[in-house]
Chain A
Amino acid sequence: DAGVTQSPTHLIKTRGQHVTLRCSPISGHKSVSWYQQVLGQGPQFIFQYYEKEERGRGNFPDRFSARQFPNYSSELNVNALLLGDSALYLCASSTRGNSYNSPLHFGNGTRLTVT
């Protein structure tokens, strides 16, 4: 079975530009979450979507937005990129939104570098 897939794997952008990151969850998983991992830190929660609705948002500015499509795939958008947005962006899926019996399964991430 395919795991969580993310694209692209690497991306280089310039300050002020916009970026779109994509995620396909494990088949049958209806919940997608996005995390940002800065070098030397643990992943930090950005968004959770379940059944195409936003169910949670972390402490990130409005430059960050996301959406979930009818096939449960998801996009993370970041506008007006800053140098500090350089990080590994991880997508995770689970069968249900907030069940203790469905832990998050992570993709391998998109490495974003802002120059």
Chain B
Amino acid sequence: DQQVKQNSPSLSVQEGRISILNCDYTNSMFDYFLWYKKYPAEGPTFLISISSIKDKNEDGRFTVFLNKSAKHLSLHIVPSQPGDSAVYFCAASETGTASKLTFGTGTRLQVTL
């Protein structure tokens, strides 16, 4: 039972354009959501997070949007840069279990010149 789903295995975007990565979840007990980026041969790197009391969180070029009614979140990267090319994982946790993350299967983003 996949509680966190990333339905797009890959995405290609031109440099300078917006990248939008999507994530859906089914567990209504999730109240904390994170995005991680992973390069080959490295561990996941924390990007940005959002709690369920918010619907938007920004950090530089990265913005995460949360739509609780639709159980959907998205990561926007503006402008996209070649160094953003990586696998992006969406993750979620329930109250009081912030270290027990449930991950999606990842979306491979390629930013082309």
| A residues in contact (CB < 8 Å) with B | 4, 31, 33, 35, 40-45, 48, 50, 55-56, 58, 90, 92, 94, 97-100, 102-109
Contacts and interface: CB of A to CB of B under 8 A. Distances in A.
Given A104-B46, A109-B43, A43 B101 contact: yes
B67 interface: no
Interface of B: 4, 32, 34, 36, 41-46, 49, 51, 89, 91, 96-106
B91 A100 contact: no
A94 B93 CA distance: 15
Given A106-B45, A109-B43, A98 B101 contact: no
Contacts of B34: 103
Contacts of B104: 42
Given A41-B105, A42-B89, A43-B89, A56 B99 contact: yes
A42 B106 contact: yes
B49 A56 contact: no
A100 B43 contact: no
A53 to B, nearest CB: 13
